[in-house]
Amino acid sequence: MQKIQGSMKSCLQPMPKILVSCRDNNGKNNALAVAYCCNCSYDPPMIMVGIVPSRYSYKIIKETGIFVVNLVGNEQKEMFDYLGSHSGRDEDKFSKFNIKVEEGLKVNAPLLADCPVNIECKVVNSIVTGSHEMFVGKIEYVHSDKTIVDNQGNIDFSKIKFL
């Protein structure tokens, strides 16, 4: 194999495709598509999402310190594409797309009811890395579709057909 120099942008692949949902202080729900995300601590359980400051969701998460990571399967592709290409600055995306919502148990933020897994998080730190600000979220609660978990609560990720 002969190697030549590759592009440095987003060179770690594959990138996950998730939806991050949030709620502003006036009660308006919003969500956006996110590919910059990862596990960042096992104990305590934490995950990190990267949001560009120009996103409408950025200000909400910065102000409330709350977000929900929603794992997305093939069935949610249309919703993913919509939320990733429209801004809550211009419209109420949840009413426009008729998004089904459930309430967080530990946080004041919407769960996307159709997604198989919803992870409630509270921001404990953030790092401006460059184009993105990485919000470190302590996991407060994980909701999983009961058909994909065993009796210890372990998620069988092979049962989700990820985008």
Query: Which one among 21, 23, 29, 34 touches ligand FMN, defined by CB under 6 A?
Result: 34
Cβ contact 23:30 at 8 Å: yes
- Least distance from C-beta 76 to ligand FMN, angstroms? 13
Q: Does 77 bind ligand FMN (CB under 6 A)?
A: no
Beta strand 133-144 with 117-128 is antiparallel
- Least distance from C-beta 99 to ligand FMN, angstroms? 12
Q: Which two tokens stand for residue 152?
A: 């210890």
Amino acid occupying residue 96: K
Query: Which one among 51, 66, 111, 134 touches ligand FMN, defined by CB under 6 A?
Result: 51
Among 51-59, 67-75, 106-114, 116-124, which window interacts with ligand FMN (CB under 6 A)? 51-59
Distance CA 14, CA 114 (A): 23
- Least distance from C-beta 27 to ligand FMN, angstroms? 16
Which letter, b or e, does each residue of 107-135 get, where b requires 16 or more Cβ atoms within 10 Å of its Cβ?
A: bebbbbebbbbbbbbbbeebeeeeebbbb
Q: Does 30 bind ligand FMN (CB under 6 A)?
A: yes
Q: Which two tokens stand for residue 1?
A: 């194999």
Each residue 93-132 as x (binds ligand FMN by CB under 6 A) or -, in order, gives ----------------------------------------
Positions in the binding site for ligand FMN (CB under 6 A): 17, 30, 32-36, 50-52, 55-57, 84-89
